[in-house]
Chains A and B, each alone.
Chain A
Amino acid sequence: MKKYWHRREFIKQSAAAISTMAMGAPMASMLASCGDKEKKLLASADSVILLFMAGGMAHTETFDPKRFTPFTKGMTADSVLSTFKSIPTVLDGVHFSEGLEKIGKVIDKGTLIRSYVAADLGHILHTRHQYNWHTCYEPPQSVTVPHIGSWISKELGPLNPVIPAFINIGQRFEVGEGEELKAFHSAGFLGSEHGPFLIPDPSTGLDSVRPPVGMSTKRFESRNQLYEKLIKESALGEFGSDYQKESLKRSMEQAYILLNSPEAKAFDINQEPKESYDTYNTGKFGLGCLMAKRLVEQGARFITVTSEYEPFMNWDTHDNGHTRLIDMKKLIDAPIAQLIQDLDQSGRLEKTIVIVASEFSRDMLTEGRPDLKVKDQVVVPDIITDMKNYGMHRHFTDGCSMLMFGGGIKKGHVYGKTADERPCKSIENPIKIDRIHQTIYHALGISPETNYEIEQRPFYTTPDGKGKAELNMLISKT
């Protein structure tokens, strides 16, 4: 099946109306995309699953291991590059860090990127880098910038009209830096219609798409009937044709259809066979992967599952890095590998890009980039005597690993390289976020020229429309 890039709606208005997009006013339906609408791009993918390792996943401890230095009391900090052994993967000569054996077995189905370079944003704050990763823009910006999921929702719409186009699984917003997290979980100027459908906890995800807790289906239906009947009988004739009334009616209908649809069951991970459920069930993240699998098979467009960002938790290791990573790897290894296998088996992987990424990497010594160090946040003793200091505790931006599978991404390919000795930075094909985004857009058939006039300025999917797709990562389209 070949898909062509298309824009869902082009409101024919005078040029003036298009160019006078109000400041601070997200009026989705008023936006007209200014991308090159005639230029058709062949799409190799139609959906995306982004698995986000929030908090900074050290490349040397995961997908790009270096020389292993076991813990000994009195070891020097600068001697430690990796705190885990390397293990072979299904690809000749490609090693992962111990604990990622299962992903190592499926990496022949995707591309391993070892040279992602995060932005230079000065004194490091996780949420700023996460904002940058998800929007492609560096905060702060003078307008609210859309999440990549919102761009995709806006340009391609839902794949299955019943399922919201952009689903976000696993992040709570009541945690520290919650407000900063909200800043990029937004459709911004594309309008709330394209915002994320939030499922903070996959185990109760069904609650988000079924009639309110405690309400039977029968009651839910009769409530809806009452709504329709009463509105029909009210003096609505005088309301005439009115976009506000129409949009209210339409959204209510859509909500009802979703809540009543068989597809809503995709949100119910308890319906999964026990064996499969157990494989995925390494915790909240694993169950998120399971939900993502079920959703993408029912036609979800963009799903992101996060290991969840909470300051100093999960991948955000300011201490005990080695010990904590044992658990983090247990959390991700089986479900990610299983997701790839399941999608491959169902044929969905053909059309679905699965990405595993983090906002930056970590190192024991370097904070920031070796050539542009920033203020340290963690005290690292020169001589390590305590296990709690054994691990990658500083924020490293110059060499991060990323995995991409499916949807036209090359198979069994390794992209980029980091140095084998400290500072273990990118030395081949460094790649930044705008190219990553544009590669995804390219695979989805979204033109690099896609932009909207916001406050009279063109606003592109990547800054100034300059992001170039990395065609070396893609199977060439014919």
Chain B
Amino acid sequence: MRNKRSIALLTLISLVALVLLIYSTTDFLSSKSYSKEPDLVKLAKTELDENQKIRLVNEVRGIFAHNCYKCHGKAKQKGMLRLDEKEFVFEGGEDGVIIVAGNPGKSELLRRIKLPKDHKEAMPSKGKTLSEHEIALIELWIEKGAPWPDGASQQSAFPMARLEPRNPKLPPATTGLKNPIDLWVNAYFDLNKIDWKEAVDDPAYLRRIYMDIVGLQPSVQEMETFQNDIRVDKRERWVEKLLSQNDDYAQHWLTFWNDALRNDYTGTGYITGGRYNINFWLYSSLQKNKPYDVFAKELLYPDDSSKGFISGIKWRGTVNASQRVEMQAAQNVGQVLLGLNLKCASCHDSFISDWKLEDAYAFANIFSEESLEINRCEKPQGKFAGTRLLWPSLGQIDSSASRSEKLKQLADKLVQPANGRLYRTVVNRVWRQMMGRGIIEPVDEMDNMPWSADLLDWMAVNFTENGYDLKKLIYLIATSKTYQLPSVSLESPAQLIAENYVFKGMLTKRLTAEQFSDGVSEIITPIFEEKDLKFNPFRLAGYEPTGQQIPRASLVANNAFLTALGRPNREVVATSRDSQASLLQALELTNGEKLNAVLQKGAALWKTLYTTSDEIINEMYKRALFRKPNPKELEIARQVLGKNASTEQIADFFWVMVLHPEFQLIK
């Protein structure tokens, strides 16, 4: 049992939350804000005004929706109780009323949610227990007389981000800050009392931009040239140079897009003809830096080369109604392009958003020749949903038109600038790839609160004004002071999505399977051969490949080595990868054939190139870590390699270096 004091404390905490919420100036319904702390005592004693009441009850409705609707809503009414509408909430269930306005102590609802989890009357009986904050909020609401003004029901119980673009006025330039990203971050830092730190040094910066733009390690020569470059704008120039290496760029970003668009060279569905790849279309779109509006349009209203994304995977046999290919298309377009979750709503009205079963079917109908019969949890309803976009303000789809015509309308309507969500979503994804965490997390839930709405909104508008140019977006980020801040390490991955996340700089990133493989290929000897390539851009006519031409990991079929390092099975959309190492991975790296064979081969080669162990040690530190070994490191390595190192000894030294955290992590 909680004692009175802690309840008082909780109430205080919830008051803070409420107050912050009421004073919130953002466009989001959320308890998070950056406004100054108001006078708590004063608020606790004052009557709530109409607007404050609406905010409060909607917070409570949100808690009900997430935790209770499943058993006490439209679909099910356990104990004859519904919590999804005002009338039902006050009516109570089979045992009578559950809320006594103004008297939390006599309210059955509160008693039940406060019971210990193993008590047979505890609520929710399934799923997670309510948090202390949630309980306190409900308690406060009842104490305040359980206000439920009529206007409240018009407001959604779920946070929903605005659809249209927003172009906040840029803060005025200040000393040393020109890049608009920095101006927004500067305003954010001011609010959160964070000081700017000094930019990272040249080696760290160059490795970052290489990894983020082309996915490769800079060579020793490139590093030296960069360090010796004395132009004041050298960082900008090098970013520009890397962005112009079209094939290197495409071969890096291909990995991100293949994950997101569920595209692979091999995989489920191909043998039964139930799946199409978009390899050529995707590669050339990236190689030519296709404007993102056109890119999205071609995915939505595809020709044969890009139809793989909305075609989904058709398994042999019968599949659940919620997984038919048209519904897969609706879900994947929703998730990847629009950052929203339609997966719940494709089976029943969602418990986590306002999307209804009918919305999901109406959207899926766009991808279907014939209108689909609505199935609720696999039971046909004998009803049809019409054909609609998720937001009527974006326009209408002609439900009588052919599939092709409907897709054309869909494509035109979704990519219009009025659909701010499409562009916020992609900008947030690119930001996350480079900075390690999105401005909104998770990146597929774009109704969540951004840590800076101004920054995200401004960037999204800027992106559309700049011709939907992904490279310009990357340039803007990579040349900002914000990007150049020292990286931040987290103690636990849960902090990534914690509600109280505060941005202080990019997060330390781990090399992806592809970056690691390509890095080893570059600094030691190639891991893959040309014959391993499942898609060979060098054979494509039309342009000369640029840059380094090691066979890149993004172009080979998935294999045990890459899987162990985190390349996903691309049967379903994957928009982020596991950021932690695991035992199976370590085993693959420690005794897997692939890496050891490559290191052995590389060692034999190096033995012919260098005569002394010191040369090998110094060269390897330079190539992998861009620094000299410190005296102790040199001494340790010397002891192991001896004067005249054997191939085995060199291979072992290589192994240590490529598994070195300084190599594995991007700081």
Contact = CB atoms under 8 A, between A and B. Distances in A.
Interface of A: 11, 13-30, 34, 36-39, 120-125, 128, 138-144, 164, 173, 176-177, 179-180, 182-183, 186, 191-193, 195, 197-198, 207-213, 215, 219, 222-223, 226-227, 229-231, 233-236, 239-245, 247-252, 254-256, 258-259, 374, 449, 451, 453, 455-458, 465
Given A192-B582, A243-B493, A251-B585, A140 B315 contact: yes
Contact of B315 (A18, A27, A128, A223): A128
A41 B365 CA distance: 46
Contacts of A125: 272, 315-317
Interface in B146-178: none
B144 to A, nearest CB: 22
Contacts of B489: 239-245
A24 B444 contact: yes
Interface string B600-620: 000000000000000000000
A27 B569 contact: no
Given A26-B578, A143-B572, A456-B341, A251 B586 contact: yes
Given A128-B315, A180-B268, A255-B583, A241 B491 contact: yes
11 contacts: A23-B573, A24-B576, A26-B568, A27-B493, A142-B323, A212-B593, A215-B648, A235-B630, A244-B489, A248-B586, A449-B126
Given A191-B578, A239-B661, A251-B582, A230 B443 contact: no
Interface of B: 66, 116-118, 126-128, 130-131, 133-134, 259, 266-268, 270-272, 313, 315-320, 322-323, 328, 331, 335, 341, 343-344, 351-352, 441-445, 448, 489-494, 496-500, 508, 510, 560, 564, 566, 568-569, 571-587, 589-593, 596, 630, 632-633, 636-637, 640, 648, 652-653, 655-657, 659-662, 664-665, 667
A366 to B, nearest CB: 16
Nearest to A457: B344
A367 B524 CA distance: 55
Contact of B633 (A11, A207, A233): A233
Contact of B343 (A13, A251, A255, A455): A455
A343 B340 CA distance: 51
B444 A455 contact: yes
B470 to A, nearest CB: 20
Contact of B126 (A193, A208, A229, A465): A465
Contacts of B315: 125, 128, 139-140
Contacts of A128: 315-317
Given A24-B573, A230-B656, A244 B636 contact: no
Given A128-B317, A197-B587, A465-B126, A144 B578 contact: no
A15 B662 contact: no
Given A230-B656, A252-B590, A30 B493 contact: yes
A236 B578 contact: no
B323 A11 contact: no
A242 B591 contact: no
Contact of A251 (B117, B442, B583, B655): B583
A358 B640 CA distance: 53
Nearest to A250: B581
Contacts of A457: 343-344, 351-352
Interface SS of chain B: helix, strand, loop or mixed? loop
Of the listed residues A128, A140, A236, the one surrounded by the most CB atoms of chain B closer than 10 A to its CB is A140
A398 to B, nearest CB: 16
Of the listed residues A180, A183, A244, A453, the one surrounded by the most CB atoms of chain B closer than 10 A to its CB is A244
Contacts of B322: 142
Nearest to B342: A142
A222 to B, nearest CB: 7
B127 A176 contact: no
B337 to A, nearest CB: 13
Contacts of A245: 489, 508, 661, 665
A39 B118 contact: yes
Contact of A22 (B317, B442, B591, B661): B442
A115 to B, nearest CB: 23
B661 A230 contact: no
Contacts of A17: 494, 497-499
A33 to B, nearest CB: 10
B127 A208 contact: no
B271 A164 contact: no
A17 B661 CA distance: 28
Given A23-B573, A226-B656, A248 B633 contact: no
B499 to A, nearest CB: 5
In the complex, the 5 A-B pairs of residues with the closest C-beta atoms, listed nearest first: A122-B318, A122-B317, A22-B442, A38-B118, A242-B489
Contacts of B444: 22-24, 455
A251 B661 CA distance: 12
Given A23-B335, A29-B492, A191-B582, A233 B636 contact: yes
Given A14-B498, A138-B320, 11 more contacts: A27-B493, A27-B579, A30-B497, A122-B316, A140-B571, A180-B271, A212-B596, A223-B652, A233-B636, A242-B489, A242-B490
